[in-house]
């Protein structure tokens, strides 16, 4: 075991896989010689060569497309899209090609591409470096969508994604690359070494795709969340003194419905928390599913805390970011409902 | 001097009711262009992107340094594949008109591209076709019944009922799945070729798009990545002059030949008479050998003409002269190879007629057999459960649930 932040854990996952499997390659902007703008691929080109850790032209559509072709020819590509905000030029290749290849060829062709991409705000990145577009991808049949909330999960999930024969979009909440974040930007930064999930094995291990994790057990309400908001939700429940069961979804698609439903049936109340915009966001799917499965167990309407339905603003970052205040207000609202 | 700018809207030279006009088409005499060494520097052979590589002259002789000197037997096989493609297309078009399949796209007039290229490549080379390359399937010997069953979406459909007619694939035959989204396969072919180079193999990839699709970003991804990584790939632009109703000027063909996009990023561009079987074969051989020896990608523009409608949903009489195809200066690929074979004493009108009859019989027999496996209107039909398979490798819980929901409705 070692202490790792999320960047080191992701680097370790790719290191392990490059070492174990000759077919694993990495392609992306700045990932090679430089080691990535967030350092996630630091040292990997030096270790495995420039034919396996490949610097790419600035063309996200080309990166995804060539990764698809490599996957069809027996490689297991990891494509890095430098920011989730830049994934849109690759959208057609992801949606119409990567996600659909196995289906349209009746299983005769597929391409096991993992697309890694940093997402989310709280880093003063403005609207082109802060988006959370996961809901756009969970809507696409034929994709797996994953978002870890800590270093231990990040490594185990990324290895599972690389080993999976299904295409995956793997979102990395960049605000928590270096440490958990409870939503208060004025507090000093906390490193992952203070957190239990900062303990990461050096070698190979996996966390199964499609399974959520209960990160706090509780009895009064279920908070369904993922990514950075796991930590904000934990802090908010603690501050509010509410005995909340907090579930980290981790695998957004396919979704672990059973874990969510069992919890809400137990607590009878549900709050959904995500950073992405609210309208048609992933929380809408979660709310609909909980309503269908748990309606007769619900003591109060399902609540949602999400980013406002605006582009991600630069100057109003902390008014936009769904911090503890908003989570606490929603929790109180639901708890007070009779 | 005019004042201010003025938007230029390209116009084709002739519209319905007007005489066909191909005066815009720049050609070169057959045999006039030197065949450079396969190691030639791109900068030294830029002229090949604007001239027109031709082998068959007006007297049906094969002339000049690009003559691939194929055995007459091989040429006869090429003629057979082209004719089979044409007869198959014509038959499937009629079948669509009879309402027995929903959709079809013919490759009439462009058969030399797929057939000559398919023959110049090795069977282990990977093809990433567009929807107008059915000739590749003829060359690689796919059972016609399999193609027809796909068009019928019946119980033997290779796509299990999930794709429009003609969106074939063939993993064992090294032909990639066809997408209806234009041009996406172009950079994928480059990725496949990059993997071949990473693995140190000498297989190459080939891909095809139309003139209109060169405007898509995927075209630019493909030529850029192919150039940057010196990928062993042949990137083909089949310039059949028409993208549904917009002529090639709308993709920028008025200003520069499409082949010239190649030298723009540092890969050779070859502009080839796409209706000249021998020229297409020779250009492909050149590009394939160059790629196999580490010389990287080549962009080939095949100058041809889309004789048929874009698809069964299209009506070209609304946007181009009715007799446009007949006036096309580069003739018809089947006729030209036939005339050449007759000229060299290896073919005759009688043999040609006999071959057409034989192939019509082959296609008819395949159609009869295909129907046994079902049509859209008459069973047997595909099991509805198949709809839920292959979304992911394993059936996920939510799809299992949805499948059960559908099953319950059917009971």
pLDDT digits (tens, 9 = 90+) for A190-243: 999 999 999 999 999 999 999 999 999 999 999 999 999 999 999 999 999 999
CATH of the domain at B149: 3.40.50.970
- A72 → closest Cβ in B192, B389, B390: B192
Does the beta-carbon distance from A109 to B176 stay under 8 Å?
A: yes
User: B54 pLDDT band (50/70/90 cuts)?
Assistant: very high
Let me know if residue B201 belongs to a domain. yes
For residue range B61-108, list pLDDT tens digits in order: 999 999 999 999 999 999 999 999 999 999 999 999 999 999 999 999
Does the beta carbon of B294 lie under 8 angstroms from any beta carbon of chain A?
A: no
- B7 by Cβ neighbours in 10 Å (0-12 / 13-18 / 19+) ranks as exposed
Let me know if residue B20 belongs to a domain. no
Domain that holds residue B127: 42-308+316-380
B189 plus B53 within the same structural domain: yes
Question: How far is residue B147 CA from its own chain's centroid?
Answer: 16
B186 plus B205 within the same structural domain: yes
Let me know if residue B57 belongs to a domain. yes
Does the beta-carbon distance from B390 to A70 stay under 8 Å?
A: no
B295 plus B392 within the same structural domain: no
Give the distance from residue A103's alpha carbon to the nearest chain B alpha carbon, in angstroms.
5
Instruction: Tell me the C-alpha distance between B31 and B40, whole Å.
Output: 19
Let me know if residue B3 belongs to a domain. no
Q: What pLDDT does B1 receive? A: 61
Let me know if residue B146 belongs to a domain. yes
B150 plus B63 within the same structural domain: yes
Does the beta-carbon distance from A103 to B225 stay under 8 Å?
A: no
B299 plus B391 within the same structural domain: no
B320 plus B405 within the same structural domain: no
Give the distance from residue B357's alpha carbon to the nearest chain A alpha carbon, in angstroms.
34
The crossing angle, in degrees rounded to 10, of helices B72-97 and B111-120 is 140
- Bridge-based pairing of strands A303-307 and B126-128 is unpaired
Interface of A with B in 213-252 (CB under 8 A): none
B195 plus B147 within the same structural domain: yes
- B323 by Cβ neighbours in 10 Å (0-12 / 13-18 / 19+) ranks as exposed
B301 plus B393 within the same structural domain: no
B172 plus B229 within the same structural domain: yes
Which residues fall within 8 angstroms of residue A296, CB to CB, at 6 or more apart? none
Give the distance from residue A109's alpha carbon to the nearest chain B alpha carbon, in angstroms.
7
B202 plus B271 within the same structural domain: yes
User: B149 pLDDT band (50/70/90 cuts)?
Assistant: very high
Let me know if residue B163 belongs to a domain. yes
Name the closest residue on chain B to residue A210, using Cα atoms.
B396
Q: Looking at beta carbons, which residues of chain A come within 8 Å of B176?
A: 72, 109
Let me know if residue B242 belongs to a domain. yes
Q: What pLDDT does B411 receive? A: 83
Instruction: Tell me the C-alpha distance between B240 and B243, whole Å.
Output: 8
Q: Inform me whether the pLDDT recorded for B288 exceeds 70.
A: yes
Domains of chain A listed by start with CATH number: 2-176 (3.40.50.970), 210-336 (3.40.50.920)
For residue range A149-191, list pLDDT tens digits in order: 999 999 999 999 999 999 999 999 999 999 999 999 999 999 9
B61 plus B156 within the same structural domain: yes
Which residues fall within 8 angstroms of residue B382, CB to CB, at 6 or more apart? B153, B154, B155, B157, B160, B161, B374
Q: Inform me whether the pLDDT recorded for B329 exceeds 80.
A: yes
B149 plus B284 within the same structural domain: yes
CA A132 vs CA A177, A306, B267: distances in Å = 15, 11, 39
Name the closest residue on chain B to residue A64, using Cα atoms.
B188
Q: How many domains does chain B fold into?
A: 2
Question: How does the average pLDDT of chain B come out, rounded?
Answer: 97
Let me know if residue B27 belongs to a domain. no
């Amino acid at each position: 075991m070692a202490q790792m932040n999320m960047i080191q854990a992701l680097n370790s996952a790719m290191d392990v896989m490059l070492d174990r499997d000759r077919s694993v390659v990495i392609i992306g902007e700045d990932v090679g010689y430089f080691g990535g703008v967030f350092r996630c691929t630091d040292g990997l080109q030096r270790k495995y060569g420039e034919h396996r850790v490949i610097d790419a032209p600035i063309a996200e559509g080309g990166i995804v497309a060539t990764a698809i072709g490599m996957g069809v020819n027996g490689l297991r590509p990891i494509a890095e899209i430098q920011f989730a905000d830049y994934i849109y030029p690759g959208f057609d290749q992801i949606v119409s090609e990567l996600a659909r290849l196995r289906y349209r060829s009746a299983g005769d062709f597929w391409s096991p591409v993992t697309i890694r991409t940093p997402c989310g705000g709280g880093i003063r990145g403005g609207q082109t470096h802060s988006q959370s577009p996961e809901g756009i991808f969970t809507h696409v049949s034929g994709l797996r969508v994953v978002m870890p909330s800590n270093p231990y999960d990040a490594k185990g999930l990324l290895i599972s994604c690389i080993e999976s024969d299904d295409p995956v979009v793997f979102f990395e909440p960049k605000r928590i690359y270096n440490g958990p974040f409870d939503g208060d930007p004025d507090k000093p930064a906390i490193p992952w070494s203070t957190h239990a999930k900062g303990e990461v094995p050096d070698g190979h291990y996996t966390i199964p795709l499609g399974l959520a994790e209960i990160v706090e057990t509780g009895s009064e309400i279920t908070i369904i969340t993922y990514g950075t908001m796991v930590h904000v939700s934990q802090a908010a429940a603690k501050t509010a003194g509410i005995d909340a069961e907090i579930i980290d979804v981790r695998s957004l698609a396919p979704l672990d419905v059973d874990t969510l439903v069992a919890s809400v049936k137990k607590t009878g109340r549900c709050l959904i928390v995500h950073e992405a915009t609210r309208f048609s966001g992933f929380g809408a799917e979660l709310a609909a599913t909980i309503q269908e499965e748990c309606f007769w167990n619900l003591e109060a309407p399902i609540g949602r805390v999400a980013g406002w339905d605006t582009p991600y603003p630069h100057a109003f970052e902390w008014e936009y970011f769904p911090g503890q205040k908003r989570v606490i207000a929603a929790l109180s609202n639901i708890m007070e409902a009779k | 001097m005019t004042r201010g700018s003025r938007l230029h809207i390209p116009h084709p030279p002739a519209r319905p009711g007007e005489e066909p006009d191909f005066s815009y088409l720049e050609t070169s005499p057959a045999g006039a262009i030197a065949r450079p060494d396969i190691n030639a520097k791109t900068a030294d052979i830029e002229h090949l992107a604007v001239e027109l590589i031709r082998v068959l002259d007006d007297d049906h002789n094969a002339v000049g340094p690009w003559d691939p000197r194929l055995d007459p037997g091989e040429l006869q096989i090429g003629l057979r594949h082209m004719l089979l493609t044409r007869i198959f297309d014509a038959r499937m078009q009629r079948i669509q008109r009879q309402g027995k399949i929903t959709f079809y796209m013919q490759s009439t007039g462009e058969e030399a591209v797929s057939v000559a290229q398919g023959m110049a490549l090795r069977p282990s080379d990977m093809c990433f076709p567009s929807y107008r390359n059915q000739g590749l399937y003829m060359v690689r010997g796919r059972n016609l019944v399999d193609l027809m069953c796909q068009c019928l979406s019946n119980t033997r459909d290779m796509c299990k009922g999930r794709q429009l007619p003609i969106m074939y694939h063939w993993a064992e035959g090294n032909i990639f799945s066809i997408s209806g989204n234009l041009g996406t396969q172009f950079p994928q072919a480059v990725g496949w070729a990059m993997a071949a180079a990473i693995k140190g193999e000498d297989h190459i990839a080939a891909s095809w798009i139309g003139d209109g699709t060169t405007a898509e970003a995927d075209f630019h991804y493909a030529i850029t990545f192919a150039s940057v990584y010196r990928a062993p790939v042949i990137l083909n632009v089949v310039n059949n002059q028409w993208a549904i109703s917009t002529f090639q000027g709308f993709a920028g063909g008025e200003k520069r030949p499409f082949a010239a996009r190649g030298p723009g990023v540092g890969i050779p561009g070859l502009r080839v008479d796409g209706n000249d079987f021998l020229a297409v074969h020779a250009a492909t051989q050149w590009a394939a050998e160059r790629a196999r020896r580490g010389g990287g990608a080549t962009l080939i523009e095949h100058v041809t003409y889309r004789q048929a409608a874009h698809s069964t949903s299209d009506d070209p009489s609304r946007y181009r002269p009715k007799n446009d195809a007949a006036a096309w200066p580069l003739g018809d690929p089947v006729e030209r190879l036939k005339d050449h074979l007759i000229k060299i004493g290896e073919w005759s009108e009688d043999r040609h007629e006999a071959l057409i009859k034989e192939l019509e019989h082959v296609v008819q027999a395949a159609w009869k057999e295909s129907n046994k496996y079902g049509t859209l209107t008459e069973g047997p039909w595909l099991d509805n459960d198949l709809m839920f398979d292959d979304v992911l490798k394993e059936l996920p819980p939510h799809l299992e649930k949805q499948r059960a929901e559908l099953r319950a409705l059917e009971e």
